[in-house]
């Protein structure tokens, strides 16, 4: 099979325009195999994740209704609400592992296969998919533990500031919160590079991936921020469109319940609940599709940073000097 379009090299220095064009050229070139395996893998995941997700927001709207009507919330409702929240978080974490496994297995196979992603069978995708899912699961667990540690430290520091006195605590807390948001703004763009670094480089560990992300991320901070901002806005359009039906249906139900206007019984019926569940599946699919597009854009930024800072693209071409098509 002859492929007419030039192959997109992951590791090469790019202008901002090149990063965007390579991101969407990659999607345009590979949308058929990507969509095929996205639906094949993410639709069953979305069907499962949508159950606690829908139940969580049902509980959330119920809490709002109870607060508005000044009525009490029974203990069982609180328990179910907490369980649905926990199940939603765990479900989206598992969905994230599957999604990132799919995205990066396709990117890696695109770079490695002579035919790119053309005629890609699932038997060929499966080993790479499982490998990427395993690495993403490790990174997700490590990142979660890191977030917990940071949160505990933040709470302890917050508590110690008030131990010095209420007025002093207020001042120190204000300064601490301001510094925290400044640090967060500075650190988030480099942290976006952790995932592509860890998923694309098999020899690197979790801590080394974080160190490399900070090194490359701070050196190309403006580029990371710009790519995440622009691609994030474009991909969020998909998320907004797919979320709109579920959101409108949920809002209508809450308003009718609060005002006691219209046929409130219909909004508690099986038909309406089932339709709302179907819309929540579409919402989950749209959210994960937007994440996949953003991940591809971040990967192009990662390849740019690797080549610009470390000269990875040049060294790879030297290693494959006998392959004329690389030049």
| 84 — pLDDT class (breaks 50, 70, 90) | confident
Of 41-45, 175-179, 216-220, 320-324, the range with the lowest mean pLDDT is 320-324
327, part of any domain: no
Tell me the C-alpha distance between 63 and 77, whole Å.
9
Q: Is residue 7 in some structural domain? A: no
Number of independent structural domains in the chain = 1
- Of the listed ranges 51-60, 67-76, 156-165, 292-301, the least confidently predicted one is 67-76
Looking at residue 1, what is its pLDDT? 45
- Residue 327 confidence class, pLDDT cut points 50, 70, 90: very low
CA pair distance 53, 31, nearest whole angstrom: 28
Q: Is residue 325 part of a domain?
A: no
User: Once rounded to an integer, what is the mean pLDDT over residues 277-283?
Assistant: 93
Question: Model's pTM, two decimal places?
Answer: 0.87
Q: How high is the pLDDT of residue 68?
A: 57
pLDDT on residue 142: 95
For residue 235, being part of any structural domain is answered with: yes
For a pLDDT cut of 90, what percent of the chain falls above it? 57
What residues make up the domain containing 118?
Answer: 16-318
pLDDT at 35: 95
Band of residue 174 on the pLDDT scale cut at 50, 70, 90: confident
Residue 178 inside a domain? The answer is yes
Q: How many residues does the chain have?
A: 327
Domain annotation covers residue 8: no
Separation between Cα atoms, residue 90 and residue 181, nearest integer Å: 27
Task: Determine, yes or no, domain membership for 189.
Answer: yes
Above 80 in pLDDT, residue 89? yes
The answer to whether residue 155 is domain-embedded is yes
Give the Cα-Cα-Cα angle 184, 189, 193 (nearest 5 degrees).
130
């Amino acid at each position: 099979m002859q492929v007419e379009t030039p192959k997109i090299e992951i590791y090469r220095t790019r202008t901002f325009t090149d990063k965007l064009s390579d991101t969407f050229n990659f999607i345009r070139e590979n949308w058929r195999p990507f969509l095929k395996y996205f639906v094949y893998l993410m639709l069953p995941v979305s069907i499962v994740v949508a159950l606690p997700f829908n139940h969580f927001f049902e509980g959330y709207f119920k809490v709002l209704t109870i607060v508005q009507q000044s009525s009490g919330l029974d203990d069982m409702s609180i328990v179910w609400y907490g369980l649905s929240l926990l199940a939603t978080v765990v479900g989206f974490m598992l969905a994230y592992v599957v999604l990132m496994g799919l995205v990066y297995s396709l990117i890696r196979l695109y770079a490695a296969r002579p035919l790119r992603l053309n005629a890609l069978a699932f038997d060929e995708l499966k080993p790479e998919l499982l490998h990427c899912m395993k690495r993403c699961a490790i990174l997700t667990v490590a990142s979660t533990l890191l977030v917990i540690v940071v949160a505990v430290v933040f709470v302890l520091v917050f508590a110690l500031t008030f131990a010095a006195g209420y007025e002093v605590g207020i001042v120190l807390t204000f300064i601490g919160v301001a510094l925290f948001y400044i640090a967060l703004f500075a650190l988030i763009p480099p942290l976006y590079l952790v995932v592509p670094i860890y998923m694309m480089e098999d020899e690197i560990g979790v801590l080394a991936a974080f160190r490399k992300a900070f090194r490359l991320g701070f050196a190309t901070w403006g580029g990371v921020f710009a790519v995440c901002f622009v691609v994030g806005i474009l991909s969020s359009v998909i998320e907004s469109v797919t979320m709109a039906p579920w959101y409108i249906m949920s809002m209508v139900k809450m308003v009718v319940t609060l005002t006691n206007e219209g046929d409130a019984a219909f909004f508690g019926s099986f038909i309406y609940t089932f339709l709302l569940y179907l819309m929540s599946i579409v919402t989950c699919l749209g959210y994960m599709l937007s994440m996949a597009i953003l991940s591809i854009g971040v990967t192009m930024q990662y390849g740019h940073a690797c080549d610009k800072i470390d000269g990875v693209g040049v060294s790879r071409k030297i290693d494959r000097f006998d392959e004329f098509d690389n030049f």
